Structure 1
Amino acid sequence: MEKLQREVRFLKAYSLILTTVLVAFFFMAFRTDFGKQRFQEIDVERINVVEKDGTLKMVIANGERQHPGMAEGKELAPRKRQPGLIFFNSAGDECGGLVYDADKKDGAGMVYSVDQYRNDQIMQLQYMQDLEGSKARTYGLKIWDRPDDFTLTRQNQVHDSLTALKDEKVYNEVMKQLVSEGKYGTERLFVGRTWKDEVGLFIRDSKGKVRIKIYVDKQNQTKIETFDEQGKPVTK
């Protein structure tokens, strides 16, 4: 009888301990704040940095799992992107990033972009190189002008509408017109090395036409060139 009582007490104690452990694991499984953690090394394909309310602020990812982008709180359609960092503002827009990669088909490159509010990039620190053929490369700082009334969301709407027409000729004509009007941005300045091995300052007007070039060419000759609105050299 005494042996039976000991076994019953043991089973009660065992049951109590097991129940306590299970309850602890249950609450830990639903815990969202684990405090500060430290890891010596981790392997990961993607990290989402979010605010306490879940607002996405930054994504670090490989190419396969890279975020497609976001405009006005809506995620863009899936697309191929390079690995790196993508930044998002509190308004729900992608606002810049740092991407990089290298392969024989597309060459090597790294680009740090700053995006205009609810639009595409207006400034880039970039490096690009052909890994085959001439092995040419370019790198430097480039800036663009972009309109306020033709946001990234509007660009996507126009693209979808034109695509739905299934008329390649109309699509190309409309896109050519929009590009000529600067709706998709106009390059204004480049400081760095060009594909032609020219190192210097290159300034364009509001229509994207080159107006001033101050550079040293591949023969180490110093050049200062100005052009009119038609692209013709201005002689003084």
Structure 2
Amino acid sequence: MEKLLKEVRFLKIYSFVLTLVLCGFIFLSFKPLGKERFTEIDVERINVVEKDGQLKMVISNQARQHPGMFNNKPLPPRERQAGMIFFNSRGDECGGLIYDGNENENGMVYSVDQNQNDQVLQIQYNESRNGQQLRRTYGLKMWDRSDEFKMEKAIKEFAALDQIKDEQERKKAVQALRDKGYLGRERMFVGKTTDEEVGLFIRDNKGTPRIKIYVNKANEPVMEFLDEQGNKLKSAN
């Protein structure tokens, strides 16, 4: 009888503890969702999504960086620097901020992409070192992108180019795309060049330099106007 009473007592205690655990679980399960505050958090990647799960922004280290997306479909895996990547409501990548640096190279770039295409505007800083020689450039850069060569078509064309094994043939194929105006053409740069010229540099719709207004590294003001072959039309120092 004493043994039976002990077993009954044990079962009562066990039932009581189990009931407390179950109540705690139910309470936590129905706890209202709200804003959480953290003093510090370590994370390799954060995905910002809408209520329906649509991806809007990725903040990531280099190893887990998003490869990009078009029409809600991720692009093939590729190496990208750490930073932030933005996505619009169509499911296309539409810009971002990336950065990296080591003993030989350093840089940070903020990009704005044309709709269904590549970047058309960048704020950038880049520097590289070759031995004792340091080359540095930074400023605002702009491009034109063809509406006939949007990202969907570009992905297919570049995939076909990757299949060309002969280097010379591949260069010819790339040049053919450039001659059609399909590849991006730089139109303007405002900033400091690797030749230590600070100013405004404008190109025509073929990407040919046409106007340069700058101060050179000798602190001399320069204005240059060029023709389509790069010959000076007018200059003033």
Q: TM-score normalised to the size of structure 2?
A: 0.88
Specify the alignment match of 2:129 in structure 1: 131
Say which SS state the counterpart of residue 192 (structure 1) adopts.
strand
What is the CA distance between 1:176 and its match in structure 2? 1.4
Q: 1:188 to 1:25 in 2, by over 3 A?
A: same
* 1:42 aligned onto 2:74: no
Residue 115 (structure 1) aligns with:
113
User: What is the root-mean-square deviation of aligned Cα atoms in Å?
Assistant: 2.5
* Matched residue SS, 2:97: strand
Q: Shift in Å at residue 168 of structure 1? A: 3.9
Alignment of 1:53 with 2:52, yes or no, is yes
Structure 1 runs of 4+ with >6 Å offset: none
Change (3 A) 1:33 1:100: farther
Higher relative strand content: 2
Once the 2 structures are TM-superposed, how far is the Cα of residue 214 of structure 1 from its aligned partner?
0.2
| Equivalent residue letter for 2:78 | R
Per-residue CA distance 1:134-191 (angstroms, 9 max, x = gap): 2110000000000112111211111222334545443321111112333121100000
Give the letter for the 2:21 counterpart.
Answer: V
Q: 1:91-106 residue pairs with structure 2 within 5 A?
A: 91-105=90-104
| CA distance in 2: counterparts of 1:57 and 1:151, whole angstroms | 21
Gaps of 5+ in 2: none
Question: How far apart, in 2, do the equivalents of 1:165 and 1:223 lie?
Answer: 44
Q: 2:171 aligns to what SS in structure 1? A: helix
The equivalent residue for 1:152 is 151
Residues 1:103 and 1:21: Cα distance change in structure 2 (over 3 Å): same
The number of residue pairs the alignment matches comes to 234
Percent identical pairs in the alignment equals: 56
1:63 — aligned with what?
Answer: 62
In the other structure, the counterpart of 2:140 is: 141
Per the normalisation by structure 1, the TM-score is 0.89
Output the CA distance in 1 between the equivalents of 2:151 and 2:217: 39
Task: Give the C-alpha shift of residue 75 in structure 1.
Answer: 0.3
